[in-house]
Amino acid sequence: MKFKELHLAPELLAAIERAGFEEATPIQEQTIPLALDGKDVIGQAQTGTGKTAAFGLPMLDKIDTKNQILQGLVIAPTRELAIQTQEELFRLGRDKKIRVQAVYGGADIGRQIRGLKDRPHIVVGTPGRMLDHINRHTLKLETVETLVLDEADEMLNMGFLEDIEKIISKVPASRQTLLFSATMPDAIKKIGVKFMNKPEHVKIKATEMTADLIDQYYVKAKDFEKFDVMTRLFDVQTPDLAIVFGRTKRRVDELARGLEARGYKAEGIHGDLSQQKRMSVLRSFKKGDLDILVATDVAARGLDISGVTHVYNYDIPQDPESYVHRIGRTGRAGKGGMSVTFVTPNEMGYLHVIENLTKKRMNPLRPPTEKEAFKGQLGAAIDQVHSQLDESAESLDKYTESAAELLEKYSPEELAALLLKTVAKDPSDASPVKITPERPLPSNKKGGFNRGGGGKRGGNNNRNRGKDGNRDRNSSRERSNKNKNYSGSKRSNPRNDKKRGFVIRSNND
């Protein structure tokens, strides 16, 4: 369906066209008409399916710009997601002159207060900072007409249910409520019953929730073996843009330092970094100045990054829904992707639980040998030399005289070999890297995940507080195929044309 068929305001259609979009994604096609009709909607969709526009366009369409009051409220689990949502709503609503303000922890609250005094039409924010503003009486919600809960499952995982209920209690009961979530645990369904009015449920088919475009593999390895195996995979698979997930902040720091020591362009993000540093790292990654982003689950949640070809789960996630979110960073916008999960022998039960959730088996992947890794490095070096020669052919004239002198003393083969040695990394010369072992995940009698109630994984509801007292700063959760071509290289994406299917179901499903 084309956006023009959705009967949106002309100003919104102009913004959509300027962004280069014509066809609505399935989740947008199904939810936007329902939301425009004023119905409450539960949208079950992965990150990367266009859900921000799915709830944003109907909300923006509904805004009366002549009325200088707060009309829309979006609650998001993390600062990064709040910022990205604010930016997208601003872009879509710019022609309609809609003002959008973001509020989140770790940023100057005084500046946010001044922004709220300018009477924005929409406020996007994290639960902790929103409550802070409500308690200061700098955020008043009695005029809100549209309430959005984004990444609702993650907010419950982070223990924000109580905060969300407090915020919702300040919003008029006559509001429209739109809830979006990648997964649909019982706690989310309870929110639908308690806070929504006969919501329509738009759902991705469960069999396709993990995106058939993503080739999923696992490597069985002991903890101390994982780093060397992973870097050899980098050399063989040559990912264009990769995200590595670590279970803890210490793990992320050590992996980022280790990868830099091995010559990879890598940096890490987690909740202990300043907001300015995190955003700086993300900008570098989006621009392509970094090849590898190392992240914890919470720091990477909600990131809108295109072009990620590979996701590496250095540590298997502690809950299966996190796996869905992690691999959803690749295989987006109709393009293929690859995920590799490292599993220690005593964590195989977790792997099977993930497979049962995703309804898709992971293929075992044989770790490449040092010789195969070196061959991959040589191939990448040759490609790099070809590329640089094509780009620099006209600027090499001033070097030809010196090159001729070298050719009098050395053979062309010797000089070319030295060039390749300079460009390529020899795994046998790699700097030794020690990654501190992590305690293996606890297993229950079935060898799977331990789960707590109320939507909180493992029953742990601890929440770290930042310097400003906001609870959205961090969460307690931050804690072999024998194919010698190593499917998943940037030269091969065999399933680019597959499409996901979507269905609408009523709230009784």
CA distance 263 to 186: 46
Q: For residue 96, which amino acid is it?
A: K
- Among 120, 118, 114, 184, smallest CA distance to 149 is for 184
- Residue 179: what pLDDT? 94
In this predicted model, what pLDDT tens digit does every residue of 25-77 receive, in sequence order? Answer: 788 889 999 999 999 999 987 666 678 899 999 999 999 999 999 999 999 99
CA distance 447 to 431: 36
CA distance 373 to 362: 23
The partner residues of 243 in beta bridges, in order of sequence, read 293, 311
CA distance 155 to 82: 12
CA distance 403 to 16: 53
- Residue 381: what pLDDT? 67
Contact (Cβ atoms closer than 8 angstroms) between residue 357 and residue 327:
no
Ordered structural domains, the chain, with CATH:
3-204 (3.40.50.300), 214-369+431-447 (3.40.50.300)
Q: For residue 230, which amino acid is it?
A: M
Per DSSP bridges, beta strands 363-364 and 214-220 are parallel
- Residue 505: what pLDDT? 36
Burial of 66: CB neighbours in 10 Å, binned 0-12, 13-18, 19+: exposed
Q: Does residue 87 sit in helix, strand or coil?
A: helix
Give every CB contact of residue 344 below 8 A, 6+ residues apart in sequence.
220, 221, 222, 223, 440
CA distance 344 to 403: 51
Helix segments in 196-289, DSSP class H? 226-237, 249-261, 275-287
In this predicted model, what pLDDT tens digit does every residue of 410-448 receive, in sequence order? Answer: 888 887 777 777 766 666 666 778 888 887 676 544 445
- Residue 456: what pLDDT? 35
CA distance 45 to 47: 7
- Residue 500: what pLDDT? 31
CA distance 501 to 204: 7
Task: Match 């009477």 to its residue by tokens.
Answer: 119
Phi, psi of 139 (to 5 degrees): -130, 110
- Pair of tokens at residue 334: 């109709």
Tell me how far the alpha carbon of residue 7 is from its chain's centroid.
31
Q: Per-residue DSSP letters for 21-79?
A: --BPPHHHHHHHHHHHTT--EEEE--TTSSHHHHHHHHHHHH--TTS-S--EEEE-SSH
CA distance 78 to 66: 31
Does pTM surpass 0.85? no
CA distance 389 to 91: 40
CA distance 13 to 49: 19
The sheet carrying 363-364 orders its strands as 266-269, 292-295, 242-245, 310-313, 337-343, 214-220, 363-364
- Pair of tokens at residue 420: 């390749």
In this predicted model, what pLDDT tens digit does every residue of 457-506 receive, in sequence order? Answer: 333 333 333 333 344 434 333 333 433 344 443 333 433 333 333 233 33
Q: What is the pLDDT along the chain (509 residues), one digit of tens a residue?
A: 788 888 899 999 998 887 667 778 788 889 999 999 999 999 987 666 678 899 999 999 999 999 999 999 999 998 888 988 998 899 899 999 999 999 999 888 999 999 999 999 999 999 999 999 999 999 999 999 999 999 888 888 888 989 999 999 999 999 999 999 887 888 888 888 889 999 999 885 543 444 567 899 999 999 998 999 999 899 888 898 999 999 888 999 999 999 999 889 999 998 778 778 888 888 899 888 999 999 987 666 656 677 889 999 999 987 776 788 788 888 765 567 899 999 998 888 889 888 887 778 899 998 887 777 667 666 776 776 777 777 776 778 788 888 888 888 888 888 777 777 776 666 666 677 888 888 767 654 444 544 333 333 333 333 333 333 344 434 333 333 433 344 443 333 433 333 333 233 333 33
CA distance 475 to 299: 10
Give every CB contact of residue 361 below 8 A, 6+ residues apart in sequence.
355
CA distance 499 to 383: 32
Rg (CA), the chain: 25
Helix segments in 108-201, DSSP class H? 109-117, 127-136, 152-157, 161-168, 186-195
Phi, psi of 292 (to 5 degrees): -135, 130
Q: For residue 116, which amino acid is it?
A: L
- The per-type count for the chain, helices as H runs and strands as E runs, is 18, 15
DSSP 121: S
CA distance 505 to 21: 27
